[in-house]
Amino acid sequence: MRIVHMSDNHLGKAQFHLAEREEDLYKAFDMAVDLALQQDPDLVIHTGDLFDSYRPHPRAFVRAFEGLLRIVERDIPIAIVEGNHELGPDTVRKRIASPLINLRKLFERLGYGKLFVRLGPGAVRIGDVVVAGAPYASRGVKIADTVESLDRKAKNLCESCPKVLMLHQGVRGMIKAIYPEVDFSEIAKSSFDYVAMGHYHNKVVRRSGKRIFAYSGSTEVIETREIPLAGEGKYVLSVKIDKGCIEMEELRLSTRPFLYFSETLINTQDLYVLIEGLKKQLTSQEFDERPVVYGKLSLKGDVRPGMPTLEIRRALMDLSLYVIVRESRITEEGEEKGLLTGVGLEELVQNAVASLDLDQEVRALALRIFDLWYREGKRGEAFVNGVLGLMEEGS
């Protein structure tokens, strides 16, 4: 049985507040659907964060629906779970709000309800494979218990069938996460043959005997921290799974290029040498689209903070879509201190929290609250409810 695994499209996100970047994410999703259909799969699985918000813009909802419709029109089922970005409170009905609920209703009205399977949590047999999955759960929730319960349900549906688990979690032992929600060992002790995961945006594949545990990664660069690894590519995964046998093929997507640099500047001559080198890279290579330029500068000597960023942006603005520069100052003692100029808000908050004399759990909670506001886009009552939920988990 052939399965295509994709994740973390974050449709609706306009990175750097640019319409071009919002369109890039739509194009990457469409390309992921194209690659999936080329595989002629028996099943497509999506491990969360199809949308960037639990209240996506109608444009994002339509683009998602159009892409998924192309799959179900070929009589190919889709199994999907919610990611953290798609889970919001419905304070009127006192339940979770999710755009996937509306997608499900729409497919039902069109007669494709049986082909759009939202697992929240649950297990279902699709062809010769049993698929189990659960939506994102934050720290404090006993995810290991959920996995154990899904394992039992999967075995009850078909003991001898190949089994697939779908999660949207940070897994310690698979990735480096600020606040992982579950340990790899707690997932590995289940009987699932293929564990498909979302939440982490770079591709990670771990094999254990005849089993595979995999993050397919996002289909485009979503956060600046991914940019240094952008050259490694973005993927969807094609998995052939039969009883006692599993094979994987990594299908690379064609996405907007990123040019990354990291340099130490001692004087202004170093700066202009760097600029000329960057201009040469941008003009000598044949890019299908204007790249995003992202760089980190360590300043020494008399280089004035802010000036390198302005000069680099001025020199490269016509050759690139967008230019981001992060500056830090190297002190006489050799310590590197972040500067406000060119430093991202997320990095500032992380550095500030890390510098406080707080317990590790309190620091993690502070970052998690910031994450609700900054990365998940929760505002107003949704934000308050999210904070209260985190406080309940920690109590």
Q: What is the pTM of this model?
A: 0.84
Provide the pLDDT for residue 298. Answer: 93
pLDDT surpasses 70 at 367: yes
Tokens 């709000």 -> residue: 97
Q: How many other C-beta atoms are found inside a 10 Å radius of the C-beta of residue 90? A: 13
Nearest CA-CA partner of 326 in 348, 342, 310: 342
pLDDT above 90: residue 368:
no
Alpha carbon 163 to its chain's center: 24
Domain ranges of the chain: 2-253, 258-343, 349-394
* pLDDT digit string, tens, across residues 7-49: 999 999 999 989 999 999 999 999 999 999 999 999 999 999 9
Tokens of 219: 């289909």
Q: Which of 159, 166, 139, 324 is nearest to 237 (CA)?
A: 166
What's the confidence (pLDDT) of residue 91?
43
Confidence of residue 93 (pLDDT cuts 50, 70, 90): very low
Question: Considering the chain, what percentage of its residues have pLDDT values greater than 70?
Answer: 86
More confident residue, 105 or 387: 105
Instruction: Classify domain 2-253 at the CATH topology level.
Output: Purple Acid Phosphatase; chain A, domain 2 (3.60.21)
Q: What pLDDT is recorded for position 341?
A: 47
The answer to which of 3-7, 104-108, 181-185 has the lowest mean pLDDT is 181-185
pLDDT 10s digits, 231-289: 999 999 999 998 778 999 999 999 999 999 999 999 999 999 999 999 999 998 888 89
Residue in the structure block whose two tokens are 């960023």: 309
**What local confidence, expressed as pLDDT, does residue 112 receive?**
96
pLDDT band at 213 (very low <50, low <70, confident <90, very high): very high
Task: Judge whether residue 348 has pLDDT over 70.
Answer: no
Taking only the tens place, the pLDDT of each residue in 102-143 is 999 999 999 999 999 999 899 999 999 999 999 998 766 789
For position 265, what pLDDT does the model report?
A: 94
The pLDDT value recorded for residue 225 is: 86
For residue 381, pLDDT beyond 70? no
Spell out the alpha helix ranges (H) of 285-359: 307-316, 345-355
On average, the pLDDT of the chain sits at 88
Give the helix ranges, DSSP H, for the chain.
19-38, 58-72, 99-109, 143-157, 184-188, 268-284, 307-316, 345-355, 360-374, 380-394
